[in-house]
Amino acid sequence: MEIVVGKTAGFCYGVKRAVDGSIEQITNNKNPKIYCLGELVHNKQVVENLEEKGIQFIENINEIQENNSKVIIRAHGVKKDIYEQAEKNNIQVVDYTCPNVLKIHKIAEEYKEKGYYIFLTGTENHPEIIGIISHCGENYTLIKNEQDVEKAIENLEKSNIENLLIISQTTFSTKKFEVIKSIIEEKVPKNIEIVIKNTICLATETRQKETKELSTKVDAMIIIGGKNSSNTKKLFEVALENCENTICIETKNEIDINRYKEINKIGIMAGASTPQSSIDEVIEELNK
């Protein structure tokens, strides 16, 4: 059996920065507690490891009662009013929001101030989307798929705004974004000025492209990543289009070895929040 691991599998820059930075905070922390608002990244194994090292994960900043406490902002970012609450409550913020996500926040703020209506493509209730929406103002519509475009255009027309910005969640499907963008360009009234900012990060695009290429050259694909990881789900969808024998797992324990006994070539890809240890364990399990 030949095992081919994607070159882009595993931690992206933003996730590595957040994880390494958080470990450094724990190591140098002189306060009794250090908190993280929400999951630092969408990977259960990474979160559990950080909990063991001493980080306390919370869902609401008001859970922090101690003065001069530190709170880590997750890689996906948070709503902008969180920073105001932290300052008001004398909580020190350690911001590990991915720079690509912060860039979207700035773009949304800029075009909101210019009076643009905003179409945002992404996954509903995803932490990154919740943060971005807080910078969009009132005139925005979230587009989850092609079916949402018609309603979004209706909302745009009702607003009487003649300037439109299109942006995206960093981990959205590049293929789906292009399809949605084309439909919008075709159906939006001609008097509307459209500005398109493809804010899907380069690491996401590259990873999806490599997954597509790899899935056409193997007999089976294994995608490794957190169950709640948006970018991992997109990799699974991309691989499945080209390789029917594709599964998405979080750990080696979900592998049925019997399924691969007659397989000659297996491709492995992993989401941006998947640690190298999870990838190594899957390879070891297959080699048995």
Q: Using one digit for the tens of pLDDT, what is the confidence trace for 250-281?
A: 999 999 998 998 899 999 999 999 999 999 99
Alpha carbon separation from 118 to 50, 132, 153, 202, 250 (Å, rounded): 36, 11, 11, 22, 35
123 vs 32, more confident = 123
Residue 31's pLDDT band, with cuts at 50, 70 and 90, is low
Q: What is the mean pLDDT of residues 187-191?
A: 95
Q: What is the mean pLDDT of residues 223-231?
A: 93
- Share above pLDDT 90 across residues of the chain, in percent, rounded to a whole number: 91
Rounded to two decimals, what is the model's pTM?
0.90
pLDDT tens by residue, 47-59: 999 999 999 999 9
Mean pLDDT taken over the chain: 95
pLDDT at 33: 81
Dig out the tokens for 260 from the structure. Answer: 């691969």
φ, ψ (nearest 5 deg) of residue 274: -90, 120
pLDDT at 277: 96
Question: 74: which DSSP letter?
Answer: P
Q: How many helices (H) and strands (E) does the chain have?
A: 10, 12
pLDDT tens by residue, 92-116: 999 999 999 999 999 999 999 999 9
Q: What is the mean pLDDT of residues 124-142?
A: 97
1 vs 170, more confident = 170
Q: Is pLDDT at 11 greater than 70 in this prediction? A: yes
User: Is 128 one of the annotated active-site residues of the chain?
Assistant: yes
Give CA angle at 13 (12, 19), nearest 5°: 90
pLDDT at 135: 98
Alpha carbon separation from 268 to 29, 213, 254, 272 (Å, rounded): 37, 12, 14, 13
Residue 30's pLDDT band, with cuts at 50, 70 and 90, is low
Q: Are 213 and 222 in contact (CB under 8 A)?
A: no
Amino acid occupying residue 96: Y
Q: Is pLDDT at 65 greater than 90 in this prediction? A: no
- Share above pLDDT 70 across residues of the chain, in percent, rounded to a whole number: 99
Alpha carbon separation from 237 to 24, 76, 175, 195, 245 (Å, rounded): 35, 21, 11, 28, 12
Q: Which position among 84, 109, 113, 128 bears the catalytic label?
A: 128
Paired with 72 in beta bridges are 36, 94
Cα(140)–Cα(129) distance, integer angstroms: 12
pLDDT at 32: 61
Residue 67's pLDDT band, with cuts at 50, 70 and 90, is confident
